[in-house]
Amino acid sequence: MRAVEVTGTIDRQGHLLLDQPFDVDISSRVRVIVLFSEPTENTEIDPDDTPNEEVKASLKRAFQQAKSGRRIPLAQMWDRIDD
C-alpha cells in the first residue's frame, strides 16, 4: 500500500473534494483517513502567523531603508533571530 498526503474538503453530503487531482494513472478503490481540527474554546494562535498587512509594511520599510543606503552588516544580520 502506498500513502499520499493531499488536502481537500468534505461537503455537506459527505463527499470528499480534493484540492488538486492526483498525478497518478491509477483507478482503484482507496483507503481514506480524514484528519480535521475540532473547534475548541482555547484555539491556539500560531506565533508565526503574522498578519499580511504587517508583513507588507515591514517589507516596504526594509526596501526603503535599503534604497537609502541604510543596511544591516551581514555579520549582525542574525544576531536577534532567536528573540
| 65 within a domain of the structure (yes/no) | yes
Query: Helices (DSSP H) in 16-82: which residue ranges?
Result: 52-67
Q: How many distinct structural domains can be found in the chain?
A: 1
pLDDT at residue number 83 = 65
pLDDT tens sequence across 12-68: 999 999 998 877 777 888 899 998 877 766 656 666 777 888 889 999 998 888 888
| 17 within a domain of the structure (yes/no) | no
| 38 within a domain of the structure (yes/no) | no
| 54 within a domain of the structure (yes/no) | yes
pLDDT at residue number 15 = 92
| 64 within a domain of the structure (yes/no) | yes
- Quote the CA–CA distance of 25 and 34 in Å, as a whole number: 23
Is this model's pTM higher than 0.75 or not? no
* Containing structural domain, residue 55: 49-73
| 60 within a domain of the structure (yes/no) | yes
